[in-house]
Structure 1
Amino acid sequence: MKRLVILGGGESGVGTAILGKKKGYDVFVSDFGKIKENYKEVLTINKIAWEEEQHTEKLILNADLVMKSPGIPDKASIVKKLLEKKIPVISEIEFAASWTDATLIGITGSNGKTTTTMLTYHLLKSGGLNVGLGGNIGKSFAWQVAEDKFEAYVLELSSFQLDGNYTFNPHIAVITNISPDHLDRYEYKYENYINSKFRITMNQTKEDFLIYDDDDEAISGWFQNNKTKAQKIPFSISRELEKGASIKDKTMKINIKDEEFTMDTTHLALEGKHNMKNAMAAASVAQLMKIRKQTIRESLSNFQGVEHRLEKVLKIQNVQYINDSKATNVNATFFALDSMTVPTVWIVGGVDKGNDYSELMSLVREKVKAIVCLGVDNKKIIDAFGNVVDVMVEVSNMSDAVRTSQRLAEKGDAVLLSPACASFDLFENYEDRGKQFKQAVQNL
């Protein structure tokens, strides 16, 4: 019996444990932190051995195969020891994909991947496909492979998940865009991070498809020096493309395999240029999956959007409060500020992953009337924008941030939470940060 050791007892770890057990592995789950009670129960009911708050080497280094959660870096000492012993260390995605023959659609990118994933899932489901949703979102992919019988999966994939993939081959891959993020995990080398994203296409064949943003510098740069075997489907909002997706006179045109799809972009449910790109990517997938054109149009116009992503919370005294807590990097915040059409009080800050705020400068000058810094260390933000906006306030919790913003905002303004940073200094995660924002707004 082969031994499968799982590092990390969260959603992906427990899902992998269940699939591993079902496929006849001797399974052991080890978490250096605490495992949540509901996951412990699942493991115990399924008679899967586990430990928490430690990694017992003699129970780990005897593995035939190791699945490590995406949050654990390669430089963790237990991972180094496994690699020294030449024990394969893979991702949940790699493990689960080897046990399903469903059509796999993989979506990655620095920003927009959740919206594009949810939108693609919405299009395929509305089109009557029996489709699952997983990866970096929702229920663990491995868990679904163990228990469900989907014909296709739409998977949101982070660079960390792709790093643990070696044979994974999605039939359709999407790269929404690439901008510097998580560089602390890539030796602070942007090209390492770019290469990591392109792992999504490394095993694709000429029967497969790669959909990508043709306006993106990092993506174009990679194609100058590298090739993919997949059929390329670009999308662009800056110029017309003969093949792929583009916009002309407010009409989205997608041309794939001599099939043309058109839609009036004024009917799109999601606002902003970046969402036009997300819609083109999702619609391209839907067209490849043979969803009816009318269904694609209807689904693009009735999509509800993603929580914590430019989510309109409430209008109070004619001030619109917007929750964009999912903006954990500068590029995401760029899109948010770019889509603002009224004077904005901007709530920003958190754990900085090596941010360069200079690219926001012109937007801040044009759109932002006041900045509320919500973080333990706000020095970089104050240095960057101190001379650009008239009012700058530091706060240390969400209710103060919202109350301060209310004082600074006038009728017709907006208050935008778009932190451009990770949330771990004051919150559990970006969802917790977004929920606290919404709660504080409701308490006004």
Structure 2
Amino acid sequence: MIFSIVGKGISGVSVARFLKRRKQSFFFLDDSSKTLNEYNILHSREVILSPGISVEHKAIQAAIKYKMKIWNEIDISIKSIPACFNVGVTGSNGKSTTTSMLGFLFIKVFNHVFVGGNLGIPLSQCLEWGKKLKFIIMELSSFQLEIIKDLKLDIANLSNLSPNHLNRHKTVKEYYRTKRNIFKLLKDRGVGFDLSFPLLRKDIKKKYTNRLNLLGKHNMQNICLNILNSQLVEITEEAFQKSVKMFMGILHRLEVFGQRRGALWVNDSKSTSVFSQIAAITCFAGTVHFVLGGVGKGVDYTSLERLMISSVVFFYVIGTESLILLNLLKKRKLNVVCVGNLDNAIFCISKRIRVGDVVLFSPGCASFDQFINYEQRGFFFRRLYHAV
């Protein structure tokens, strides 16, 4: 059997190690090296598709035409893992925080818990755990949910839905449909929680509003899903509350760096949608210096006008979406300047900030025009913060 691994990102490299340990033959195909084409892919028997490559790619369509098996890293890995209690989390915003919080809770209560998936650790990396593995908690992106078939979930969680990734899914309806594919992965007696319907949240907000170490009221959604999941696996209320108090959030999601020149600096580099930007800006009152932009994802930015509600905002736009964002914000007569990149943004901000201001980096776009990923983008912002 010869596999073609399409994409040399984190999941592609990880599944290559998995195949190598099993002495399976494979080769890489990738757009960046111009090897991903119809001719090369037909030299394999089966295809392992990385999430970043669309099934609409001509080479993948050729493989489908010739009825080749199309795998993804999760499906090919799950077949080699002993039966576990599997939990999946997806949503337009908050899925990483929800997954991390849930993983933190399970690790505190149980042993042998894998936390990963789209969160950054491929499932194939936990294969060496063998029979010790008891729980698998995975963040699942819409790109992964396009083709996952063999993963079976005990609990499926959908945190919320808002337009995103329209450069890939084309329509909002198609994007929402793909997200809801998570419920098709449930086992016969599996349980699904869909918080895109707000009724589930009402009785929880009051109880936990002042117990979180996280910025933003939107984290009540994350708490809701964690409560519902913990009740299903019979985690005690005492253990749950203790974990909630200890959980400090994740890197690059409303991560408070500290004070510089009297201003509070906040890294929200993981923000890649307008709705996550709105959730971020509503955490602050007063004057906010807001850095945004990057690679667009085909979404409508008009919701940004809502950012005027509670704060005085100075916008600094960067990246390939600069002109689009500049024109939109100027039409709304907002304070905006096009600075091109993050270095220039911080230089401008350092000349204008006053005591009590907030510097918020919440791009609302992908990072691939100037950075490898949102992590590199966030760490670069941290370096600039320390240099101010």
Which bin holds the TM-score, normalised by the shorter protein? Answer: over 0.9
**Is 1:30–2:28 an aligned residue pair?**
yes
What is the aligned partner in structure 1 of residue 35 from structure 2? Answer: 54
Residues 147 and 58 (structure 1 numbering): CA distance in 2 closer, same or farther, change over 3 Å? Answer: farther
1: distance between equivalents of 2:150 and 2:70?
A: 13
Residues 53 and 352 (structure 1 numbering): CA distance in 2 closer, same or farther, change over 3 Å? Answer: closer
Partner SS, residue 25 of structure 2: strand
What is the aligned partner in structure 2 of residue 407 from structure 1? Answer: 351
What is the aligned partner in structure 1 of residue 261 from structure 2? Answer: 317
Code of the aligned partner of 1:306: I
CA contact (8 A) 2:261 2:353 kept: no
Cα deviation code 1:305-352 (max 9, x no counterpart): 111111111212321011111111111111111222332111111111
What is the aligned partner in structure 2 of residue 285 from structure 1? Answer: 229
1: distance between equivalents of 2:40 and 2:321?
A: 40
CA contact (8 A) 2:161 2:176 kept: yes
Task: Give 1:167 shift.
Answer: 3.0
User: Which TM-score applies when normalising by structure 1?
Assistant: 0.81
**Is 1:384–2:365 an aligned residue pair?**
no
More off after superposition, 141-150 vs 276-285: 141-150
CA contact (8 A) 2:296 2:320 kept: no
**Is 1:79–2:44 an aligned residue pair?**
no
Residues 214 and 54 (structure 1 numbering): CA distance in 2 closer, same or farther, change over 3 Å? Answer: closer
CA contact (8 A) 2:285 2:310 kept: no
CA contact (8 A) 1:5 1:65 kept: yes
**Is 1:102–2:84 an aligned residue pair?**
yes
1: distance between equivalents of 2:123 and 2:278?
A: 31
**1:261-280 matches, cutoff 5 A:** 264-280=208-224
2: distance between equivalents of 1:410 and 1:127?
A: 45
Residues 409 and 375 (structure 1 numbering): CA distance in 2 closer, same or farther, change over 3 Å? Answer: same
What is the aligned partner in structure 1 of residue 163 from structure 2? Answer: 180
User: Which TM-score applies when normalising by structure 2?
Assistant: 0.92
Cα deviation code 1:343-364 (max 9, x no counterpart): 2111111111123222221223
More off after superposition, 142-151 vs 199-208: 142-151
Code of the aligned partner of 2:78: A
Task: Give 1:385 shift.
Answer: 1.6
Runs of 5+ unmatched residues, structure 2: none
What is the aligned partner in structure 2 of residue 209 from structure 1? Answer: 191
Computed over aligned residues only, the root mean square deviation of the Cα atoms, in angstroms, reads 2.2
Residues 275 and 19 (structure 1 numbering): CA distance in 2 closer, same or farther, change over 3 Å? Answer: same
More off after superposition, 391-400 vs 115-124: 391-400
**Is 1:394–2:338 an aligned residue pair?**
yes
2: distance between equivalents of 1:377 and 1:205?
A: 42
What is the aligned partner in structure 2 of residue 11 from structure 1? Answer: 10
**1:211-230 matches, cutoff 5 A:** 211-215=193-197
Larger RCO, structures 1/2 (Cα 8 Å, 6+ apart): 2
What is the aligned partner in structure 2 of residue 442 from structure 1? Answer: 386
What is the aligned partner in structure 1 of residue 200 from structure 2? Answer: 235
Residues 376 and 199 (structure 1 numbering): CA distance in 2 closer, same or farther, change over 3 Å? Answer: closer
Cα deviation code 1:282-305 (max 9, x no counterpart): 232222222232111011111121
Residues 380 and 198 (structure 1 numbering): CA distance in 2 closer, same or farther, change over 3 Å? Answer: same
CA contact (8 A) 1:94 1:164 kept: no
Residues 340 and 89 (structure 1 numbering): CA distance in 2 closer, same or farther, change over 3 Å? Answer: same
Partner SS, residue 277 of structure 1: helix
Task: Give 1:371 shift.
Answer: 0.8
Residues 57 and 422 (structure 1 numbering): CA distance in 2 closer, same or farther, change over 3 Å? Answer: closer
Match 2:271 to one of 314, 324, 327: 327
CA contact (8 A) 2:278 2:306 kept: no
2: distance between equivalents of 1:345 and 1:81?
A: 48
2: distance between equivalents of 1:355 and 1:364?
A: 20
Code of the aligned partner of 1:173: A
CA contact (8 A) 2:291 2:345 kept: yes
2: distance between equivalents of 1:422 and 1:360?
A: 17
Runs of 5+ unmatched residues, structure 1: 35-51, 217-233, 241-245, 252-263
Counting aligned pairs with the same residue, the percent is 30
Partner SS, residue 129 of structure 1: coil
1: distance between equivalents of 2:27 and 2:178?
A: 27
CA contact (8 A) 2:37 2:59 kept: no
2: distance between equivalents of 1:436 and 1:443?
A: 11
1: distance between equivalents of 2:186 and 2:10?
A: 27
Code of the aligned partner of 1:75: E
CA contact (8 A) 1:106 1:156 kept: yes
2: distance between equivalents of 1:343 and 1:58?
A: 56
Cα deviation code 1:20-54 (max 9, x no counterpart): 44556x330313257xxxxxxxxxxxxxxxxx652
Task: Give 1:55 shift.
Answer: 4.1
What is the aligned partner in structure 2 of residue 46 from structure 1? Answer: none
More off after superposition, 376-385 vs 174-183: 376-385
Task: Give 1:84 shift.
Answer: 0.6
CA contact (8 A) 1:9 1:29 kept: no
2: distance between equivalents of 1:305 and 1:438?
A: 17
Task: Give 1:174 shift.
Answer: 0.8
What is the aligned partner in structure 2 of residue 166 from structure 1? Answer: 149
Aligned positions, number:
386
Task: Give 1:438 shift.
Answer: 1.0
Match 1:69 to one of 41, 50, 53: 50
